[in-house]
Structure 1
Amino acid sequence: MSTPRDLSTPLGRARMLFAMLSVPKLREGLGARLLGTGGAQSPDVAGPLSRLDWLGADGEVDLPALQEVTDALTLMRSSEAILEVGRLDGIPVKTEESREVSGRIARIVFERVGRERVLTEAELNAAIAMFAADVALVRRDAVDAGVLARTADGTAYRLA
């Protein structure tokens, strides 16, 4: 199996751009820079804009970098994303956040296998392992969060 693609750079570029678009003065500065008229700007605009590694000070755009962002966003919206994105190596430490992530993983598992299915612990573990390294933590958190219900003997699980 191939190594998951590193999507952190292109997705980081997209996240940064959208964060900047939400701030009026950065949006204005970005527009000026894209038009090539973004000369002297205040440091609170020039600083953030300088972090856009795909956009030169003269408005020159690095088209391959933008294509990489487009390709990454297209991939993340496809059914192929799971084949390209690695598993979670760690779950958030805070209980509330951990249960939220674990609940989301459990919901995705049951969306894919069928919401009405009952899975054995081994089947559930195999499905969770596609998403997270700590299968037992995800399974327990999803039960504690009320997303999964388990039989009294702990051998079978269903979506609550």
Structure 2
Amino acid sequence: MRLSESFLDDALAALDVQLGALAVLQGSRISAGDLALDELDPAVAAVARRVVGAGERVSEPALNERLSMFVTDAAFFRRHAVDTGVLARTADGALYWLADRGE
């Protein structure tokens, strides 16, 4: 077996794509319709907690952008996260935050 000189560089570049900060963009986005009913709430909670940091308040457009990296229907995931108590929002829906962290 003989390896090319670029083997290690190529392998490291491939790993960086899969493990780097933008790796999420390489995979398929989650569709609510593809989830079993008992998987929906945990999936919505996991995605919401992934895109909103503790103590962070996020505008609706920014939240939609973040959610869109992971899911096919950002509005559904955003609304469901509020309905299930994972996210809280201002009365006008302008800002969102993790509900379990308080206002």
Per the alignment, residue 109 of structure 1 pairs with 51
SS in 2 for 1:98: helix
Q: CA deviation at 1:120?
A: 1.0
User: Partners in 2 of 1:87 and 1:101 — Cα distance?
Assistant: 12
Q: CA deviation at 1:83?
A: 2.9
SS in 1 for 2:71: coil
Aligned match of 2:72 in 125, 133, 139? 133
Q: Deviations over 1:39-88 (max 9, x none)?
A: xxxxxxxxxxxxxxxxxxxxxxxxxxxxxxxx88xx3x553421321212
Per the alignment, residue 153 of structure 1 pairs with 92
Aligned match of 2:82 in 122, 138, 143? 143
User: Partners in 2 of 1:151 and 1:130 — Cα distance?
Assistant: 23
User: Partners in 2 of 1:122 and 1:93 — Cα distance?
Assistant: 28
**Structure 1 residue 97 and structure 2 residue 39: aligned?**
yes
Who wins on radius of gyration, i.e. which is larger? Answer: 1
**Structure 1 residue 79 and structure 2 residue 21: aligned?**
yes
Contact 2:25 2:69 in 1 (8 A): no
Identity %: 39
Per the alignment, residue 57 of structure 1 pairs with none
User: Aligned pair count?
Assistant: 83
User: Partners in 1 of 2:62 and 2:25 — Cα distance?
Assistant: 19
**Which ranges of structure 1 fall in alignment gaps of 5 or more residues?**
1-70
**Which ranges of structure 2 fall in alignment gaps of 5 or more residues?**
1-13
Q: Deviations over 1:113-138 (max 9, x none)?
A: x3211111111001000001111110
- TM-score norm. by structure 2 comes to 0.68
CA RMSD of aligned residues (A): 2.1
SS in 2 for 1:157: strand
Contact 2:86 2:98 in 1 (8 A): yes
SS in 1 for 2:77: helix
